[in-house]
Structure formats: structure tokens, C-alpha cells
Amino acid sequence: MTRRRWIALLTALGILLAAAITTAAVTRGSGHNEAEDSPVLAPPTTPSTVTATTHRTTTTFKLPQPDAPPADPYAPTPIVQVGVIEIPKIGLVHQVYEGITLTVIDHGPGHWPGSAMPCQRGNTVFPGHRVTHSHPFLNLDQVAVGDQIVFHMPGHDCVYAATGTQIVSPSDLWVTDPTPTPTVTLIACHPKHSAAQRIVVKGKLIADIRRPGT
């Protein structure tokens, strides 16, 4: 084969490889805004802060422990609805699901596996999208202290009152730590259209209302 034909063959192979890489990337990110699309907290490359580590290691309560963030945020996960979240202050009523992969959170806020379920003693954690898909947590920044966060679960309603809002880094996993009393943690990207930080709304359980006949 002549030198000219070798060059032409190598050029064609390079074009095909680039096209394949581009197609794979588009397919994997289909339907996602990569700038703001992963409200799930990510583990830091170095150990977390001393405060967070101390908090985790000194707790004496046998409370639900949140699982580690998924290694593959796009891993296929069954879509299982566990209830409905309602935040009257921002007009939110939305289904919530089990799991925190993007394949789940694309449908609505996801319950962090291993964390407490609503009404249960411990910290119930729900990340959700802020500006993509159905953007359930779009106005999470408007939730003020005392505002209600309600989970309509099978047979009962769990009513929390917001206790505060904070902005943290994507590696601040300590916000998911177990708590000795029933609390809730809602997580979304911050600011809007960016994944640079996370907005976290915390709340405490104020009522567990059983529905008639349950």
C-alpha cells in the first residue's frame, strides 16, 4: 500500500473514532443539562472535614445510615414511587421516588437509600432537580423557617417545619448524616443553572397524621 493510501486510511479511521465518541457522549447525556444536573452530593477526593468525620464516628444512636453516592449516576434504577411531597409555600406537589441516580431523579425527588423514611427517627434525605426536567426544587430558596414540608405516605402524612437553609459544597456529605430525632433534608443545585454548590433545606417533624382506616 502506498504512503498516500496509508495516510488516507488513518485519516478516515480518525474521523470514525471521533464520531463514535461524540455519539456516545450525546446518548449518555440525552435530556440533561450538564451544567446543573446532579443534585446528589459527591464524595470529596480527600477525607471530609474533621467535624463531619467526628459527627459520623461518635454518634451512639442506631439510626438509618445513608448509602454512599452512586458510582454511576446514570445507572438504570427501577422507578418506584414511595409517596408525594408537598410544600405549600412554593406551590409544590410532586411524586417522590426511591433512589438517587439521575434515572430516578429525572422523574422527581428521590429518597436517599439508607436514610430514614419520612416520619422515621433519623434524617430523611431527598435530592431533586432545580431547573431541569420537572424542576420540583426550582424555588427551594423561598422556603423559610416554619414553612411546612409534607410527605404524603401510604396511610399517613408526615409534616415537617423548615428549620433553616444553608449553601454547601458538592462534597459536604455531612448534611446527610443521621440525626437523633426525625428530620428532613432537601438538596438541590445552587445557584440556579449551576452545579457549583448545593442548597440544603432542613426541617424537623412536627406531626405524623394517620389517615382514617389505616
Which residues, other chains included, contact 71 with Cβ-Cβ below 8 Å and sequence gap of 6+? none
| Higher-scoring residue by pLDDT: 57, 196 | 196
User: What is the domain count for the chain?
Assistant: 2
pLDDT higher than 90, residue 48? no
Same domain, 137 and 184: yes
Q: Is pTM beyond 0.85 here?
A: no
pLDDT higher than 70, residue 148? yes
Same domain, 69 and 12: no
Same domain, 25 and 41: no
Q: Above pLDDT 70, what percent of the chain?
A: 71
Question: Could you tell me the residue range of the domain that residue 135 belongs to?
Answer: 33-210
Same domain, 137 and 55: yes
* pLDDT for 212: 87
Same domain, 146 and 191: yes
- For the segment 57-73, the average pLDDT, to the nearest whole number, is 79
Which residues, other chains included, contact 15 with Cβ-Cβ below 8 Å and sequence gap of 6+? none
Lowest pLDDT segment from 43-47, 48-52, 156-160, 163-167: 48-52
Three-state secondary structure call for residue 5: helix
pLDDT higher than 70, residue 66? yes
Same domain, 23 and 38: no
| Higher-scoring residue by pLDDT: 35, 187 | 187
Same domain, 81 and 167: yes
Q: Look at residues 65, 189, 46 and name the one whose alpha carbon lies nearest to residue 129.
A: 189
**CATH code of the domain in which 124 resides:** 2.40.260.10
63-89 burial code (b ≥16 CB/10 A, e <16):
bbbbeebbeebeeebeeeebbbbbbee
Same domain, 132 and 92: yes
| Cβ atoms 198, 172 nearer than 8 A | yes
* pLDDT for 33: 52
Same domain, 117 and 157: yes
Same domain, 155 and 56: yes
- Rounded-to-integer distance, Cα 160 and Cα 98, Å: 19
Q: Burial, 143: exposed, middle or buried (Cβ in 10 Å; 0-12, 13-18, 19+)?
A: buried
pLDDT higher than 80, residue 195? yes
Q: What are the tens digits of pLDDT across the range 84-116?
A: 999 999 999 999 999 999 999 999 999 999 999
* pLDDT for 43: 55
| Cβ atoms 199, 175 nearer than 8 A | no
* pLDDT for 42: 64
Same domain, 17 and 88: no
Lowest pLDDT segment from 67-76, 134-143, 183-192, 199-208: 67-76
pLDDT higher than 50, residue 3? no
Same domain, 70 and 99: yes
